[in-house]
Amino acid sequence: MKVVAQRSKAAKVTVEGEVTGSIDSGLVLLVGITHEDTLADVRWMADKVAGLRIFEDESEKMNLSVTDVGGSILSVSQFTLYGDSRKGRRPNFMAAARPDQAETLYNAFNDALRELGLRVETGRFGAMMDVQLTNDGPVTLILESGA
């Protein structure tokens, strides 16, 4: 499982002109699932995201998590995170999970974040989406389960 986490001041995702999810302060997560991922990966990643200390404390040190600051999550499925572009000019997406498996694990990931007390907004799985965000910092991290 691969997640690109971006600290954000505001973000929204739009599908066919309709806003499907929006947050104020929090994290935008681009979520990729590979065919080897399991529910254990989902739980590990949810715990990692919820506890990741990338928000500044009163001393301006990255010492607080999204949970600590009362932030929200905007979670967007992103199979292209598993695109392999080492050969040729067109990415190979063979490492991405099949849509049925990916959607199940993506939904389980969002549910796990909610169970940890976070407000989670989403895009629409499998849809063409427009994602807008104000990246705060900018702070962007790539997280991988099993790594």
Is residue 140 within 8 A of residue 1, CB to CB? The reply is no
Catalytic residue among 6, 14, 34, 78: 78
What sections of 3-147 are H helices per DSSP? 39-51, 99-115
Average pLDDT by consecutive 10-residue portion of the chain (147 residues)?
98 97 97 97 98 96 97 97 93 94 98 98 95 96 88
Among 6, 14, 55, 79, the active-site one is 79
pLDDT given at position 147: 57
Is 122 catalytic? The answer is: no
Rg (CA), the chain: 15
- For the question of residue 78 being annotated catalytic, the response is yes
- Regarding pTM above 0.85, the answer is yes
What pLDDT sits at residue 146? Answer: 78
Measuring CA to CA, how many Å separate 26 from each of 36, 38, 58, 89, 122?
29, 26, 17, 35, 13
